[in-house]
């Protein structure tokens, strides 16, 4: 964390002059579904590929990190915030285009909106993503999905920003690797993706979406501040069941608690800090390690300074 009262680095004001829409010392709590997170040095909503290239060029010349966020789900920003530039892709990155059973979606498109758009056109296959509170870009990085299916199942190609030329480049399916909540795209700047779906009955697709949404409402704390699943499921086991059996359901640290509705969700009851959440993470990992000999791996991304 930068000491209180310390002068801002020169690049921050230079960035703001170059990109007047940017916000300085922007609280990341405004941009995550956890409503937790310290300030970013500079935050900018990028509207076009040309503007994105300018941001990356500015950062490269000054050796600054650029951190990309989508909906802000699956993300915990530490209380000290993020150094460098935080960019969110909007504008032309929110576009969806259809060509038969193929869908071209920008990195900023929200998954529920994408699923609904596909359903209206009688295209099946994306329904498992209806309850995933993320964007296409973030979903590709972590291969988001549910037990019914993952976004990686649908991908034909991914468009990324080439780090050297700062122009768009296409990655074909054969060069992509998707695993359980992982991909080989974590170091890439994703611009969008081409997905391939299947023709289906609009009535059947909408009915499946309705059933998935109802089940999510019944089993997950959708009306609280949370980031989704905290831990990945260990091989052959459900982490929520392990946490519940260990007697940790409802455990609380500061303003954060383990959900009583789903033990693999943590909730911010208002005023929770990243430290509160990380204390809960340590509590759970320690208890599960001692009781079951299982080392839990976080699913949420943890970034920033303490």
Q: Which one is catalytic: 90, 121, 181, 252?
A: 181
Asked if 126 and 134 touch (Cβ cutoff 8 Å), the reply is: no
**What span, in angstroms and rounded, lies between the C-alpha atoms of 16 and 193?**
31
d(CA 137, CA 221): 24
Check if 181 is active-site.
Answer: yes
- Of 209, 210, 217, nearest in space to 123 by CA: 209
> How far is 18 from 51, CA to CA, in rounded Å?
11
User: How far lies 180's CA from each of 72, 156, 184, 189, in Å?
Assistant: 20, 18, 12, 20
26, 150, 194, 299: which is the annotated catalytic residue? 299
Q: Which of 22, 157, 229, 257 is catalytic?
A: 229
| 66-69 vs 198-199, strand pairing mode | unpaired
Dig out the tokens for 89 from the structure.
């892709």
DSSP string, 179-216: ETTEETTTTS-EEEEEEE-EE--HHHHHHHHHHHHHHH
Q: Are 128 and 143 in contact (CB under 8 A)?
A: no
Tokens matching residue 143:
């291969």
Please indicate whether residue 244 is annotated as part of the active site: no
Main-chain phi, psi angles of 241, to 5 degrees: -70, -40
Nearest to 107 by CA among 57, 69, 145: 69
**End-to-end Cα, the chain, rounded Å:** 7
Catalytic residue set: 181, 229, 299
């Amino acid at each position: 964390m930068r000491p209180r009262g310390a002068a801002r680095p020169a690049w921050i004001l230079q960035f703001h002059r170059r990109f007047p829409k940017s916000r300085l010392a922007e609280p990341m709590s405004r941009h995550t579904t956890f409503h937790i997170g310290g300030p970013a040095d500079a935050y900018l909503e990028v509207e076009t590929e040309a503007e994105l290239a300018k941001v990356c060029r500015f950062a490269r010349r000054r050796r600054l990190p650029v951190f990309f966020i989508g909906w802000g789900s699956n993300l915990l920003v530490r209380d000290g915030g993020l150094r460098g530039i935080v960019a969110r892709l909007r504008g032309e990155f929110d576009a969806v285009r259809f060509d038969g059973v193929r869908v071209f979606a920008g990195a900023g498109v929200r998954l529920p909106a994408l699923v609904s758009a596909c359903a209206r056109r009688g295209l099946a296959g994306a329904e498992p993503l209806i309850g995933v509170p993320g964007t296409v870009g973030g979903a590709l990085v972590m291969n988001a999905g549910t037990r019914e299916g993952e976004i990686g199942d649908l991908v034909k190609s991914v468009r990324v920003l080439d780090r050297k030329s700062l122009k768009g480049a296409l990655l074909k399916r054969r060069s992509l690797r998707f695993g359980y909540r992982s991909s080989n795209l974590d170091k890439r700047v994703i611009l969008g993706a081409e997905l391939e779906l299947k023709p289906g009955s609009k009535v059947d697709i909408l009915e499946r979406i309705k059933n998935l949404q109802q089940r999510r409402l019944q089993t997950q704390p959708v009306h609280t501040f949370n980031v989704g699943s905290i831990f990945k499921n260990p091989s052959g086991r459900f982490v929520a069941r392990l946490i519940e059996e260990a007697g940790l359901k409802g455990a609380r640290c500061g303003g954060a608690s383990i959900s009583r509705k789903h033990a693999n969700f943590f909730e911010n009851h208002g005023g929770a800090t990243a430290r509160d959440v990380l204390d809960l993470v340590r509590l759970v990992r320690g208890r599960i390690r001692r009781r079951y000999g299982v080392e839990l791996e976080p699913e949420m991304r943890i970034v920033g300074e303490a």
